[in-house]
Amino acid sequence: MSKIHVTTTVNGDEAEFLCEPRETLLDCLRDKLHMTGAKEGCGTGDCGACSVTVDGRLVCSCLMLGVEAEGKEITTIEGMAEGDTLHPLQRKFIEHAALQCGVCTPGILVASKALLEKNPDPSEEELRYWLAGNLCRCTGYDKIIRAVMDAAAEMRGEAA
């Protein structure tokens, strides 16, 4: 089967790959661009571990084909830190011990960042609903919620 050539932008850098039509964006990110931050948990859009943004919109990369990335702006967890400087969300996840095994963490960070760009001051309820599609089987969520709320406060310039 003939492969399709896709040109896209990932974390601000132009990227290109060849893929078969049925390969997902997640497959392409991980296996062709070797960006393994986005994880495959369920592969059916239930767990959120593969969360990325496409043209600023939070999506599951397992529910999108690689060929659909043509001409799009993709951001992944690999684009979150500035060099060695962690994003406040990443730093607060460490401070609050908001991760254990870490498989869900990239997706939750990407999803949380997307929320804070839309709403810098979410209520806890808004945050919990926003993250309803990001499953974590380790933490019980509470530390995750505290880490995101703390990071949001810091990013707003409020003392935590």
Partner 1 sequence: MRYHSPASFEDAAGIAASATGTTRFLAGGTDVLVQLRSDLVEPDDLIDIKKIPGVKDITQRADGGWDLGVAVAGAEMTETPALMADWPGLVEGMDLIGSTQVQGRATLVGNLCNASPAGDGVPAMITAGVTLSVTGPDGTREVAVEDVPAGPGKTTLTKGEVVSGVHIPARGAHGGDAYLRFIPRTEMDIAVVGCAVNLRLDGDTVVEARVALGAVAPTARLVPDAAAAIIGTTLDDAALEALAAAASAACQPIDDKRGTIEFRTDVAGVLAKRAAKIAYGRAKGNAA
Pick the stretch among 9-17, 46-54, 92-100, 143-151 that binds partner 1 (CB under 8 A): 46-54
By C-beta, is 3 or 94 nearer to partner 1? 3
CB 114 within 8 A of CB 58: yes
Stretch that binds partner 1, among 51-59, 81-89, 90-98, 142-150 (CB under 8 A): 51-59
H or E element, residue 91: helix 88-95
What is the spatial distance between Cα 8 and Cα 70, in angstroms, rounded to a whole number?
A: 5
- Which residues does 53 contact at the CB level (< 8 Å), separation at least 6? 59, 74, 75, 110, 114
| 67 touches partner 1 (CB under 8 A) | yes
> Token pair 């592969």 is at which residue?
43
22 binds partner 1, rule: CB under 8 A = yes
Applying CB under 8 A, the residues found at the interface with partner 1 are 1, 4, 20-22, 24, 43-46, 48, 51, 54, 57-60, 62-65, 67-68, 111, 114-115, 129-134
